[in-house]
Structure 1
Amino acid sequence: MKLKQDLKDYFSLPWRAYVILGSTIINRMGGFVGPFLALILSSKMGLSNATIGFVVAINSIASIIGTLIGGRIIDKFGSRNTRVIFHGLHGLMYLLCVPLGASLAVIPLLTLASFFTGIQAPTGSTLIMANTKPEERKSAFSLNYIAINVGFSIGPLIAVLLYENHLNLLFIGDALSSFVSVLMIAVLIPGNDVPKEEKSKQTQKELSTIALLIKNPNIIIVVGVIMLYFVAFSQFSFGVPITAKNVFGEIKGPEVYGVLASINGVLCMVLTPFVSILVKPLKVSTIIALNGLLYAIGFGMYAFIGSVPLFVAATVIWTVGEILGATNMDVYIAENAPPSHRGRVSALAPVARRTGFVVGPALAGLVSTAFGLTAMWMVVITFALTGSFLMFKSKSMGVKESVEVERVG
């Protein structure tokens, strides 16, 4: 009976939450260009690996800068307006790429698109925060995570069909999905970003972001933990395929990795509501700590195992950890930020994630080259356990969760 009631929570959210989720699915489903960027630069434009790496790095930096700026813009002009304007500009940049074909002239437009995407990136969480009550947000963020994975699972399949002979349709499709997603938000979501019931709770005076972080060390801790976790999580696209090739060989290794990637995607969609219900009685900080513990166990197993079933088991374990983190980290950050700073504080999470993704493969590459794959996985375990330890010990360090965080779920 309790399970039935918990599942019912997913279907009793405000209608605006489902509009946001639908917009997310359409946007992610049409994300054609991003996953194929390196291939476009290589096969279609003929750039060297070094040049491709430079372009990808510049795009990542542009996105990070945009995210840092976007937090302030969101707090000043609102999540809805920020999403509509800058996600629309993202789509416009891709549309301008269409007549240019596979020429070098598209590279500045791609960089601008990354910058605009970065600006609106925090709205992924702030829009949900603004259109749900505290007790609804765990369910809303869980569904949002499912929506992201549904979109990502469909988008690349469509992009594969277009990439080889219809590059222009790749850009057109990405742009159109952005415009449809933006139109849904513009027409169906009201402009007021702060629910009335939360306005009365906001008693803090306007502080600088740094002053706010000093007064709320729990935000600093969880942002640091996110970066540590994503150093570990980034190994899904670096350490895992390398280890699979090392264990199973040049031919079977990539096949095994493909199976693991599919398992991860399916589990993220299927298990998310059930995992969320299972951990519902726990405090958010405890759930995030368990995220790191499962990362340490799951990714750490790759250092010692040598069979496909055990590789699958390891993937299942860290995927559950991924679900725990993905459905709770943004809740924890946003709930600990006053509405006046919600955009700026929420912007810290994607910056921490991107930083982890940059540091993770680079560090793993250096360690694996110098000391071997086992040593690399030991480093990954250390990062994951350090983050988990920080979250478990946050209360004894004098860090308290906000009242709203404890009410979530």
Structure 2
Amino acid sequence: MSIANLRRAAAESVSGLPRAFWWLWTSTLVNRLGGFVATFMALYLTIERGYSASYAGLVAALHGLGGVVSSVGAGVMTDRLGRRPTLLIAQTSTGASVALLGFMTHPLAIAAVAFLVGMASNASRPAVQAMMADIVAPEDRVRAFALNYWAINLGFALSSTGAGFIAEHSYLLGFLIEAAMTLVCAVVVFVKLPESRPVRGPVANSAESSAEREPDVGLGTVLRDRRFMAVVALSFLVALIFQQGFVALPVAMGADGFSSSDFGLAIAVNGLLIVALQIPVTRLIEHRDPMRLLVVSALLTGYGFGLTAFAGSLTVYVLTVCVWTLAEIVNSPTQMGLVVRLSPTHGRGRYQGIYTLSWSVAALAAPLTGGLVIDAYGAAWLWAGCAVTGTVAALGYWLLMRGLPGAAPPFAERPVSAAPAGPRTDSAA
């Protein structure tokens, strides 16, 4: 491909998106560029503070538990308070708690503040995703979600590189830099992003308002939405597999005699491929049948990890990472588009919060399931289980998507009511 073609492809990938999206994208990138703490937390606790590996694992679990707790609460806040206030609260709280964590020395204090950091840092996700759905046209949402995911991985790749150099000089400096950059994100949100929460307009005839207005959306509404909860369950299965790349894969490679640097090289391929391929692959898939994309990505995820059972060299390990990374590139924007499609306009925050919960719970469950299976049966059985789980998820997506109305645009949001909307009510929990 010529330079001119590359420039044209890049221009088409980023054109047509609103200015507010790019400020939100910038905030995401800055936030991930400052993501040092998660990268070196285990090293900080074991090397700098001298705690055991089991204590470091406990702190990581508490950090993840904080994310589980905040997923639902932040979704409710996103709908009740608005996207912008939720982002401001989440980002300022994250900055303050991360800075505080750097000064904690007592093990109970470290564990408690790590839980708070997990809560605060995860609270922004439903608001970001809901705001993106608000401000981007339905036909551009897959591309927008892909660009945001690309920013997340680009920022993570760069911050992971910088974290090592910073940690050599001062772990505390890393905490303070992350806190400062998170506060910069809050400033961007405050200065550049207007509130995007859809407002229900008044109804001309008040006698008709109760019958014609869009129904209130509470958490019970989300939990009773069987189709959406099926998406959450399938998302959990896929996330459970993906998490094994950071939980079970290093254990399995270590048992095969590979060094930590070998694992670092293999897993670095994941980030590099996402940065290199996310945008061009999204251009190829954004107008294709989402059912096929989700089915294929689930199969690639399961069997990409399943192939790890046959890996006897670093080259084969890298090849398996390439397979499930391609699945990740396809799955992430496609599934986010499906979540928006199934979410009523005035309940996006709650729906996004429950969807985020599936990944948070998977991050907690993956270390437990992976470790138990490896200890009891061996790594080969875990990889076989990943292949089976991916197959189940693919079948689930096929059954779920087959029931969606075929006439609807691939990623248009679900209409809740064709009648005029009624006055705003925030009584739903």
Task: Provide TM-score, normalisation by structure 2.
Answer: 0.85
Superposition deviation, residue 46 in structure 1: 2.4
CA distance in 2, matches of 1:287, 1:114: 32
For the 8 Å contact 1:330–1:349, the answer to whether it is kept is: no
Give the SS at the match of 2:51. coil
Written as runs of structure 1 = structure 2, the 5 A alignment for 1:45-124 is: 45-97=49-101, 100=103, 102-104=105-107, 105-124=109-128
CA distance in 2, matches of 1:3, 1:402: 35
The residue that corresponds to 2:369 in the other structure is: 363
RMSD, aligned CA = 2.7
The residue that corresponds to 1:231 in the other structure is: 240
Q: 2:165 aligns with which of 161, 183, 188?
A: 161
CA distance in 2, matches of 1:4, 1:196: 40
For the 8 Å contact 2:13–2:283, the answer to whether it is kept is: no
Superposition deviation, residue 257 in structure 1: 1.9
1:19 aligns with 2:23: yes
Letter in 2 for 1:299: F
Q: Give the 3 Å change call, closer, same or farther, for CA 136–280 of structure 1 in structure 2.
A: closer
The residue that corresponds to 1:140 in the other structure is: 144
CA distance in 1, matches of 2:294, 2:358: 15
1:313 aligns with 2:319: yes
The residue that corresponds to 1:278 in the other structure is: 284
Superposition deviation, residue 321 in structure 1: 0.3
Letter in 2 for 1:90: T
The residue that corresponds to 2:302 in the other structure is: 296
Superposition deviation, residue 310 in structure 1: 2.7
Letter in 2 for 1:403: A
CA distance in 2, matches of 1:401, 1:244: 45
CA distance in 1, matches of 2:313, 2:198: 52
Range 131-140 or range 252-261, more displaced? 252-261
Letter in 2 for 1:124: V
1:208 aligns with 2:213: no
Q: Give the 3 Å change call, closer, same or farther, for CA 310–41 of structure 1 in structure 2.
A: closer
Q: Give the 3 Å change call, closer, same or farther, for CA 377–107 of structure 1 in structure 2.
A: closer
Q: 1:386 aligns with which of 384, 388, 392?
A: 392
CA distance in 1, matches of 2:223, 2:104: 46
CA distance in 2, matches of 1:177, 1:401: 44
Superposition deviation, residue 50 in structure 1: 3.2
Letter in 2 for 1:39: L
1:340 aligns with 2:340: no
CA distance in 2, matches of 1:5, 1:263: 24
Letter in 1 for 2:234: V
The residue that corresponds to 2:425 in the other structure is: none
1:126 aligns with 2:136: no
CA distance in 1, matches of 2:366, 2:115: 23
Letter in 2 for 1:288: L
1:217 aligns with 2:226: yes
CA distance in 1, matches of 2:46, 2:39: 13
For the 8 Å contact 1:243–1:302, the answer to whether it is kept is: no
CA distance in 2, matches of 1:265, 1:354: 20
Range 86-95 or range 101-110, more displaced? 101-110
Q: Give the 3 Å change call, closer, same or farther, for CA 260–68 of structure 1 in structure 2.
A: same
Count of matched residue pairs: 399
CA distance in 2, matches of 1:300, 1:337: 33
Superposition deviation, residue 361 in structure 1: 2.6
Percent identical pairs in the alignment equals 23
Give the SS at the match of 1:152. helix
CA distance in 1, matches of 2:407, 2:268: 37
Give the SS at the match of 1:187. helix
Q: Give the 3 Å change call, closer, same or farther, for CA 402–186 of structure 1 in structure 2.
A: farther
The residue that corresponds to 2:266 in the other structure is: 260
CA distance in 2, matches of 1:89, 1:204: 33
For the 8 Å contact 1:130–1:195, the answer to whether it is kept is: no
Letter in 2 for 1:242: V
For the 8 Å contact 2:236–2:359, the answer to whether it is kept is: yes
Structure 1 residues 7-48: Cα deviation after superposition (integer angstroms, max 9, x where no partner): 614222111111111111110010111222222222222223
Letter in 1 for 2:131: L
Superposition deviation, residue 268 in structure 1: 0.4
1:171 aligns with 2:180: no
For the 8 Å contact 1:292–1:387, the answer to whether it is kept is: yes
Q: Give the 3 Å change call, closer, same or farther, for CA 204–113 of structure 1 in structure 2.
A: same
Give the SS at the match of 2:29. helix
Letter in 2 for 1:172: L
Q: Give the 3 Å change call, closer, same or farther, for CA 195–146 of structure 1 in structure 2.
A: farther
For the 8 Å contact 2:166–2:174, the answer to whether it is kept is: yes
The residue that corresponds to 2:426 in the other structure is: none
For the 8 Å contact 1:131–1:193, the answer to whether it is kept is: no
For the 8 Å contact 1:288–1:325, the answer to whether it is kept is: yes
Q: Give the 3 Å change call, closer, same or farther, for CA 62–374 of structure 1 in structure 2.
A: same
CA distance in 2, matches of 1:401, 1:176: 47
Give the SS at the match of 1:302. helix
Q: Give the 3 Å change call, closer, same or farther, for CA 260–304 of structure 1 in structure 2.
A: same
Letter in 2 for 1:275: V
